[in-house]
């Protein structure tokens, strides 16, 4: 009878005492602050894009401002109008003469500052293989050198039929004295193809001519925004690293406290 009654007794499970429960680590991971997400987005948006281009450059000081200057029917660059986009004719290098390094083009650099350092860059796309030779001359040197003077006159004469676009390709300069130089650009096609027409008559190459003054004769002025960007990225990265380090230390300390409590 005793065993028969015992079979009908329901046993209610008793809760396990808290001191006997298994210790499960609880990690309190702090939520990512909105400012960190914003900084991540800012870095993604300000990441510079990759541009495939070639650059040829020459660095020079501004000459004395004693050069008489008149209109020479040439494209011109000044520190105030420092960028020119144009098409330059090119040929395959000749065996001798000025065309040994390519087709000649001339550019006038004026209104320079005596003693100021400048950088003249020629930028063109990599899909147009071209080699450039850049030479700078004082005006009187070109006038006294028959070969250079003839090349300059031929180039200026070939431009007399050119119609100015919305942005004038050259300016009528009153006679005055200024700091000026002549840039001699020679463009040579640098490719090989089975197309006989392209081998015989290379098409002009689109280039950007950029006159970049140096800041305090130390660094090109165009690099100042890039330097500022790098400093900004460095500062943001430093603060971001500090925030991540603090978060990791908080997580480690919380885990250690919970482990000590379980012990």
Digit-coded pLDDT (tens) for 47-93 = 555 556 789 999 999 999 887 776 667 899 999 999 999 999 999 88
pLDDT at 185: 96
pLDDT at 46: 56
pLDDT at 193: 86
Give the residue with greater pLDDT, 114 vs 243: 114
Give the pLDDT mean for 6-19.
51
pLDDT at 170: 44
Buried b (16+ CB within 10 A) or exposed e, 63-98: bebebebeebbbbbbebeebebeeebbbbbbeeeeb
Among 21-30, 61-70, 209-218, name the most confident range.
Answer: 209-218
Digit-coded pLDDT (tens) for 141-199 = 999 999 999 999 999 888 875 534 323 444 455 567 889 999 999 999 998 888 888 88
Buried b (16+ CB within 10 A) or exposed e, 6-41: eeeeeeeeeeeeeeeeeeeeeeeeeeeeeeeeebee
pLDDT at 241: 79
Among 83-87, 94-98, 167-171, 246-250, name the most confident range.
Answer: 83-87
Determine the distance from the C-alpha atom of residue 53 to the mean position of all C-alpha atoms in its chain, rounded to a whole number.
10
Structure tokens at 33: 């602050």
- DSSP codes of every residue in 18-35: GGGS-------PPPPPHH
Give the residue with greater pLDDT, 72 vs 246: 246
The whole-angstrom separation of Cα 99 and Cα 95 is 8
The whole-angstrom separation of Cα 236 and Cα 67 is 50
Beta bridge partners of 120: 58, 211
Which positions ≥6 away from 102 have C-beta within 8 Å?
90, 91, 93, 131, 132, 133, 186, 187, 188, 189
Give this prediction's pTM: 0.66
Give the pLDDT mean for 103-130.
94
pLDDT at 3: 45
Other Cβ atoms within 10 Å of 215 Cβ, number: 14
Q: What is the mean pLDDT of the chain?
A: 77
Which positions ≥6 away from 147 have C-beta within 8 Å?
98
Domain ranges of the chain: 53-220
Give the pLDDT mean for 91-98.
71
């Amino acid at each position: 009878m005793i065993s028969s009654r015992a079979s009908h007794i329901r046993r209610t499970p008793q809760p396990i005492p808290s001191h006997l429960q298994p210790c499960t680590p609880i990690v309190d991971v702090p939520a990512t602050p909105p400012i960190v997400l914003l900084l991540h987005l800012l870095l993604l948006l300000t990441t510079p894009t990759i541009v495939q281009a070639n650059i040829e450059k020459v660095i020079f000081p501004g000459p004395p401002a004693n050069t008489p200057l008149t209109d020479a029917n040439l494209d011109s660059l000044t520190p105030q109008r420092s960028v020119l986009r144009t098409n330059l004719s090119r040929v395959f290098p000749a065996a001798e003469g000025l065309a040994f390094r390519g087709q000649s083009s001339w550019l006038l650099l004026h209104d320079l500052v005596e003693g100021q350092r400048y950088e003249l860059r020629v930028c063109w796309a990599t899909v147009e293989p071209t080699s450039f030779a850049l030479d700078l001359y004082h005006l009187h040197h070109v006038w006294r050198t028959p070969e250079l003077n003839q090349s300059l006159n031929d180039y200026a004469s070939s431009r007399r039929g050119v119609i100015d676009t919305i942005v004038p390709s050259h300016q009528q300069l009153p006679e005055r004295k200024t700091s000026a130089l002549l840039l001699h650009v020679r463009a040579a096609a640098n490719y090989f193809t089975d197309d006989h027409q392209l081998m015989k008559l290379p098409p002009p190459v689109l280039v950007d001519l950029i006159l970049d003054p140096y800041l305090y004769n130390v660094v090109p002025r165009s690099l100042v925004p890039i330097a500022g960007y790098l400093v900004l990225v460095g500062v943001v990265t430093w603060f971001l690293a500090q925030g991540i380090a603090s978060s990791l230390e908080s997580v480690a300390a919380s885990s250690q406290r919970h482990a000590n409590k379980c012990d």
